[in-house]
Structures are given as C-alpha cells and as structure tokens.
C-alpha cells in the first residue's frame, strides 16, 4: 500500500480530535472504516502511530514524527486547490509564506478586507520561503533571521524590517523552579534536557553557541516545535520560543537573562508595491500580539513596533 493524501488527512484528524469516533465523524466516514485505514497505514510505516485508550487516542513518538511531516503536506495541498480554483475564475489571490508567528491570524484577518481569501504556506525554513518568492511561487514572505546567521536573500527581492531585534524567550514547565522568577539564567537550565528544531535556519547553531558561551552542555533533543511544546508541558524538556508565545497552565514563558538570543523579523517581496500593500496590516497585527504578552510588553520599546 502506498500512502495517499487521504491517509495523511485521516492521521491529522485523529490527532486533532483525539478520538477515532470524532475523527470519523469529521471526515464523513464510518469508525470501522477509519480504524481499518489506520491499521493499514501503521503496517505500511512499521509501527503504532497512536496509543488507543478509553479516554481517546494520543500520538506515539512515531506518530508525532509522521504528523510533523504530514501537516505541512496537507496544508500545501489545500493551498494548491484554493489557488487553482481562484485561477480558474480569474481571481487575484495573495500568496503568503511565513515562518511561525502569533501575528499571522491577525494579519490574515486584516488582509481579507482587501483581498479574497489569501493562501498561506508555512515553512520552518526562512531561506526556503525566500526562494519561493524569488521563483514566483509566493507573493510575499514573513520570516525571521536568527542573529549572527544571515539569511540568503535572493537577488532582486525587496525586504522591509518589521522588528530589528526580537528577543527570544524560553518555554519551561510551569512547576520548574526557575519559572518562579520573571527572568531565567541559562545556568538555571543546565540540568534540563533541551529540544531544538534543526530545520529552522540558524537556530540550532545559535543555541549551541549560546550554551557554549554560558559554559553549559545540556542534553539536547532534535525535533519540531509542536512536539517540543507537548514535551515541555509534561516536564520532559525546555525550549526556546518567541516572546509573544502565551504561557499556559502547564507551561511558562520567561525571558533569558541579558536577552542573549534574538531574531530580526523581515517581510520580503519582489516589488516595493507588494511590500507596501501588506506591510501596514502586518505591523498592526504584530503590535496587537506583542502588547498581549506581559513580559514582552514591559521589555518592548514602542518605537520598535510601528503603530497602526
């Protein structure tokens, strides 16, 4: 059996709903049919993707790995279909690329006032998104550049800086001793296991340099940040995160002492007019989420975030 897009959609639905019953209802199939499909996918991949219990389904480590690759593919196909339908009726659709940001929801909401439904392509690699803009596959890309590791901006692209330096924070379990303080020293985390996504351009190199400069050599796991967030919540790891990331009951977002890790936020397009058409909405959306994060709001010089 070869994996198909419908199999990936099924896996995402099971993970999102936490239940075979709810996933089957969401997909419009019977539960026995979905269970059979899941067994065949697991046989094809060589292991269990979900732990089944009376309380529902949760991904196994193999399942988390597969889901981290499946979600972008499902999203990309959805974007392809949306763009094709728009092209078929001669519509002009704005194609956006972005690395992860809490400002995205507000940006898209504002863009809908001027455009028909924009398409969104997410990627952890800022360099990959910039290449897609240069190749004409995307109209604009909102990306972050890790301090000390410049992005490879293709010739001919225009860029505009949204934030010159956004300090990166650390996400740790809410019951971690260091979470009791608003600012965390790296030495407080020397005994913890860290999780970093090496697919994020420059990030692993920057964190490795940061830890070396602090004189600590913690255990490091490599994996995507969706998985990292889940492991932080159960006390398995700590990880770097954006300052706009929300603290949750099981996790805490804290500043690092001295703000030793930063990124520059950039918007890229092929023309100045394309930048001008979307930049104000992005600046407004970013300002909105920045001011909703208490620790970041205290740190932030308002001049760094353009007003509406």
Residue 120, helix vs strand vs coil: strand
Compute the distance between CA of residue 183 and CA of residue 240 in angstroms, rounded to an integer. 14
Distance CA 194, CA 93 (A): 40
Sequence-distant (6+) residues with CB within 8 A of 31 are 20, 21, 24
Q: Is 264 left (phi over 0), alpha (psi -120 to 50) or beta?
A: beta
Q: Please give the helix or strand (H or E) that residue 275 lies within, else none.
A: helix 272-290
- Domains of the chain in sequence order: 5-88 (1.10.10.10), 93-165+263-304 (3.40.190.10), 169-260 (3.40.190.10)
Return per-residue pLDDT of the chain as tens, 308 residues: 788 888 999 999 898 888 888 788 777 778 888 999 999 999 999 999 999 887 788 999 999 999 999 988 887 876 666 556 555 444 567 899 999 999 999 999 998 887 777 899 999 999 999 999 999 999 999 999 999 999 999 998 999 999 999 999 999 999 999 999 999 999 999 999 999 998 899 999 999 999 999 999 999 999 888 899 999 999 999 999 999 988 789 999 999 999 999 999 999 999 988 898 899 999 999 989 988 887 787 766 433 444 33
Q: What is the pLDDT of residue 226?
A: 85
Give yes or no for a contact between 59 and 50, defined as CB atoms under 8 angstroms apart: yes
CA dihedral sign of residues 87, 93, 97, 103: negative
pLDDT, residue 90, reads 44
Supply the pLDDT for residue 89: 41
Helix axes 61-88, 5-17, angle to 10 degrees: 120
- What is the chain's Cα-based Rg? 21
Q: Tell me the pairing of strands 169-173 and 56-59.
A: unpaired
CA dist 53 and 189 (Å) reads: 34
Contact criterion met (CB below 8 Å) for 142 and 282? yes
Residues 196/224, Cβ–Cβ less than 8 Å? no
Distance of alpha carbon 229 from alpha carbon 100, whole angstroms: 13
pTM of the model: 0.67
């Amino acid at each position: 059996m070869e994996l198909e897009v419908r199999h990936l959609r099924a896996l995402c639905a099971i993970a999102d709903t936490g239940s075979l019953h709810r996933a089957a209802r969401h997909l419009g199939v019977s539960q026995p049919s979905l269970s059979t499909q899941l067994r065949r996918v697991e046989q094809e991949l060589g292991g269990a993707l979900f732990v089944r219990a009376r309380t529902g389904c949760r991904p196994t480590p193999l399942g988390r790995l597969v889901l981290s690759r499946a979600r972008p593919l499902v999203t990309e196909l959805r974007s392809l279909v949306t763009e094709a339908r728009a092209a078929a009726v001669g519509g002009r659709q704005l194609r956006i690329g972005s690395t992860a940001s809490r400002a995205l929801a507000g940006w898209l909401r504002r863009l809908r006032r001027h455009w028909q439904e924009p398409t969104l392509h997410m990627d952890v690699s800022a360099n990959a998104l910039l290449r897609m803009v240069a190749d004409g596959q995307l109209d604009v890309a909102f990306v972050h550049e890790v301090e000390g590791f410049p992005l490879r901006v293709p010739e001919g692209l225009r860029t505009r800086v949204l934030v010159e330096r956004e300090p990166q924070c650390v996400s740790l379990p809410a019951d971690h001793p260091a979470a009791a303080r608003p600012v965390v020293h790296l030495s407080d985390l020397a005994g913890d296991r860290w999780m970093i996504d090496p697919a994020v351009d420059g990030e692993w190199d920057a964190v490795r340099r940061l830890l070396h400069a602090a004189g600590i050599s913690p255990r490091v796991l490599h994996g995507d940040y969706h998985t990292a967030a889940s492991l932080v919540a159960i006390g398995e790891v700590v990880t770097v995160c954006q300052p706009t990331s929300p603290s949750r009951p099981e996790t805490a977002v804290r500043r690092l002492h001295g703000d030793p890790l930063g990124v520059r936020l950039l918007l890229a397009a092929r023309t100045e007019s394309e930048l001008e058409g979307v930049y104000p909405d992005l600046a407004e959306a970013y300002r909105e989420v920045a001011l909703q994060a208490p620790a970041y709001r205290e740190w932030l010089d308002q001049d760094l975030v353009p007003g509406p």
